[in-house]
Structure 1
């Protein structure tokens, strides 16, 4: 916590410098929602940058634009009622690795502030990108009948910047990921709202190989992962990340590390998180591309109507490069898992899972030669629907090797198909501690609450298991050693 407080103090004191305000009207920027203002806005940014910095202030109105590039010491300030509106023409956007509405690369002291809105009009922009692909004017793989994520404009793409602030604004209707902070340092995201369910891949916040980031007091409603940490570069690390007092809804995972995990993640602290109507996991930590995850603490998370509680996974999607996942502490967690699809009814739902399959448990799964190490769960309550039936794809406890390893598969809580536990499945792990963990099953389930398979040194005490079927043993242990069970 001392480290967290130190870099958080630095971030919060970064933006104390006062600078001159420039109204957009000064530069002939129109608020009619029809005039394309790209060149005028860019001229204004360049002018402010060249004259010592300041705020470009957008008053009430709808300001249509294509790609703009933020420069050092410049703030885009959107007053309440101001909307920065993304063009519907795909050729109004630049592409620097990603296509984006607002770029900033290798800049310092940049910000987007205010109570206004950035609206990417993503549903219609994506439609127009598809039209241009079909005409042969845009080259794209067009997988899954949609353009690649990089070809659709994100709202914000900041790379290699230092001292960044985004505060108060609403970000909505992106055609792709909403906001990407890539190899940035000292980033403050505070009081922002994400409302992005316009198209596929609408990640709420993506932090890629960043150092010293705070995400506070924010609301994310997205059609893909809510707060997602990634590592795209095997030589980089996403580290010193602090998340507090945020609410998340997602048609994927609420909190996710990976899928891109080529470098690493360390020193991550998340507190006071609320999750609801989320299709996949409330917490998904995935070291599957050769990188590592270490020193993670998530405290005070409450999730309701969420498809899965906890998913920790080591994989080997890059041949010969196994991940590493260790030193994770999950405390004061409460999750309610429904029997039905948690994001049903949203325009872009998560996929229908392969059936038959009973509701998946939480899981901590490494590989035979790459064990998940040193994970503590303290004061955790998980309420599962139960109702599992052996008439589905039954996995006998005497044949746990039927559960596939899938080292190269895309990681997801349901990736293994039917699992032999209703509460927690642990495989290829060591030094696991459950302290005051409560697992509640609402209906009879043919499976035991917990299965441990190839687990070394695990203490599951004190733990409470509430299961309507009291006849079966609550915990099954296979090829494991050093296991301390409740009541033992």
Structure 2
């Protein structure tokens, strides 16, 4: 906690410093606000000039400022006043497309003491940009791998900052990007506060990606994205996300609400997720996926409320790309959590929905799933209530709880980790496999309709303590099924 407070104090001091620096109106550099003049060169000239003068603030007033890629440099602060909109060009050649995967509207590398703030907007016009890029790829003019007709490398993000220090992103709205909305990659001392993300115009619109960053605070923000809303990633096996707090945010996604992964090469340590809300989310409210050799340790989640989401909790170790080491998950606490799971698709009606499944399964439980020989270790679930629709139909999809049934569930260690990957599971509330030192304290599983499945299934669980666990389901039914599990203590 002292570490987080120190980050806040450092960033607050930086805010005071940049407000006292020289201010320059955008119009001073010939930057036009008419929405039609391409301002890339003049905005870059302004940034370069302020940087060379030792730093200052570039202020955009009411208007639409059309631009391609601009590179932010040390000691330069951009302020978008209310009514100011930084508009991304729809011409793909106006972006740094020869610099993938760093292609972005706003880009910086190895810059320090930088910020983007104000009540203005960054609008990437992402749908038009993406389809214009697809057109150029189809014509053979641009080479870019197409995955399901989606360019893999050269779609511009909204913001991409790499190896930057002392960064503040505050109050702005970021919308309509062609790729991930904002990426902070190997950055240190980063504050993101009171921002709004609204990006549902194309695939892979992650709302916020924090990649191998250190000393980060994300607070008081609203994120609505067609892909993972708040996402931690680790791309470098020698790096990790560390000392991070996400507090007082609201997230909606057609993928996951708050997610660690999927790429997890290095790992995550000392991360706090405090007082956040998730709604209308297709996949999991909270996910930790470690399929690539990374180590996950000391994760604390408190007061997470999720409504109309496809899954509550998904913790998963896998073995996908790692060849020289094995990923681990150790010491995860999730407490004071309330989740409501619907019977129907939770993101129906949004522009880019999660995939429509064709009669594959009944509603999935919360899942904690290691792999043979590698347990998920030291997980505590405390003061949690998960409400399910119930009513699973054994004639629709069936999975029994006899030893042969449970042994027949595939491990799928190399598969892309998603809670639905096993299709039908034998529990409706919680399924735990390959785990040790598990604590369930004051956890309530509620099903609104009768269930054929057991409420909780433990398979290869070593040492678990259950106290105050309640199972609310019409007609009763099986509560806890234990298979190849030892030292299970219930109070």
Same fold, TM-score > 0.5, yes or no: yes
Deviations 1:292-331 (A, max 9, x none): 1110001011110011000000000025442100100001
Deviations 1:45-74 (A, max 9, x none): 000000121111000000000000000000
- Residue 209 of structure 2 contacts residue 230 of structure 2 at CA under 8 Å; is this kept in 1? yes
Distance (Å, rounded) in 2 between the aligned partners of 1:2 and 1:331: 21
1:11 aligned counterpart, secondary structure: helix
Task: State the partner residue of 2:360.
Answer: 356
- Note the C-alpha offset of 1:469: 2.3
- Note the C-alpha offset of 1:210: 0.2
Distance (Å, rounded) in 2 between the aligned partners of 1:4 and 1:451: 38
Distance (Å, rounded) in 2 between the aligned partners of 1:412 and 1:9: 38
Distance (Å, rounded) in 1 between the aligned partners of 2:31 and 2:406: 66
Which of 431, 434, 455 is residue 449 of structure 1 equivalent to? 455
- Residue 15 of structure 1 contacts residue 109 of structure 1 at CA under 8 Å; is this kept in 2? no
- Note the C-alpha offset of 1:11: 3.4
Task: State the partner residue of 1:47.
Answer: 49
Distance change (3 Å), C-alpha of 1:8 and 1:402: farther
Distance (Å, rounded) in 2 between the aligned partners of 1:319 and 1:63: 45
Task: Show structure 1 runs of 5+ residues with no match.
Answer: none
- Residue 448 of structure 1 contacts residue 474 of structure 1 at CA under 8 Å; is this kept in 2? yes
Task: State the partner residue of 1:117.
Answer: 121
2:428 aligned counterpart, secondary structure: coil
Distance (Å, rounded) in 1 between the aligned partners of 2:430 and 2:288: 15
Distance (Å, rounded) in 1 between the aligned partners of 2:13 and 2:316: 37
Task: State the partner residue of 1:258.
Answer: 261
Which of 164, 169, 176 is residue 166 of structure 1 equivalent to? 169
- Residue 286 of structure 1 contacts residue 314 of structure 1 at CA under 8 Å; is this kept in 2? yes
- Note the C-alpha offset of 1:147: 1.1
- Residue 395 of structure 1 contacts residue 402 of structure 1 at CA under 8 Å; is this kept in 2? no
Task: Show structure 2 runs of 5+ residues with no match.
Answer: none
- Note the C-alpha offset of 1:151: 1.2
Which of 383, 387, 392 is residue 391 of structure 2 equivalent to? 387
- Note the C-alpha offset of 1:354: 4.8
Task: State the partner residue of 1:28.
Answer: 30
Alignment of 1:151-162 (within 5 A): 151-162=154-165
Distance (Å, rounded) in 2 between the aligned partners of 1:47 and 1:32: 23
- Note the C-alpha offset of 1:270: 1.1
Task: State the partner residue of 1:480.
Answer: 485
Task: State the partner residue of 1:285.
Answer: 288
2:286 aligned counterpart, secondary structure: strand
Distance (Å, rounded) in 1 between the aligned partners of 2:377 and 2:13: 37
Task: State the partner residue of 1:19.
Answer: 21
State whether structure 2 residue 305 is matched by structure 1 residue 299. Answer: no
Task: State the partner residue of 1:143.
Answer: 147
Which of 454, 464, 474 is residue 468 of structure 1 equivalent to? 474
Task: State the partner residue of 1:345.
Answer: 349
Task: State the partner residue of 1:68.
Answer: 70
Deviations 1:82-133 (A, max 9, x none): 0000000000000333210000100100000000000000011111001101
Distance (Å, rounded) in 2 between the aligned partners of 1:272 and 1:319: 34
- Residue 400 of structure 2 contacts residue 453 of structure 2 at CA under 8 Å; is this kept in 1? no
Shift >2 Å, 4+ stretches? 1-16, 95-98, 319-322, 353-356
State whether structure 2 residue 417 is matched by structure 1 residue 411. Answer: yes
Alignment of 1:178-189 (within 5 A): 178-189=181-192
What's the TM-score once normalised by structure 1's chain length? 0.98
Distance (Å, rounded) in 1 between the aligned partners of 2:401 and 2:454: 9
Task: State the partner residue of 1:312.
Answer: 315
- Residue 4 of structure 2 contacts residue 217 of structure 2 at CA under 8 Å; is this kept in 1? no
Distance (Å, rounded) in 2 between the aligned partners of 1:265 and 1:12: 25
Task: State the partner residue of 1:211.
Answer: 214
Q: How many residues align?
A: 484
- Note the C-alpha offset of 1:268: 0.2
What's the TM-score once normalised by structure 2's chain length? 0.97
Distance (Å, rounded) in 2 between the aligned partners of 1:297 and 1:239: 13
- Residue 453 of structure 2 contacts residue 478 of structure 2 at CA under 8 Å; is this kept in 1? no
Which of 312, 324, 330 is residue 326 of structure 1 equivalent to? 330
Distance (Å, rounded) in 2 between the aligned partners of 1:259 and 1:186: 23
- Residue 199 of structure 1 contacts residue 223 of structure 1 at CA under 8 Å; is this kept in 2? yes
- Note the C-alpha offset of 1:369: 1.1
Backbone CA RMSD of aligned residues = 1.0
1:385 aligned counterpart, secondary structure: strand
State whether structure 2 residue 15 is matched by structure 1 residue 10. Answer: no
Task: State the partner residue of 2:93.
Answer: 91
Distance (Å, rounded) in 2 between the aligned partners of 1:415 and 1:12: 44
Distance (Å, rounded) in 2 between the aligned partners of 1:246 and 1:12: 20
- Note the C-alpha offset of 1:352: 1.4
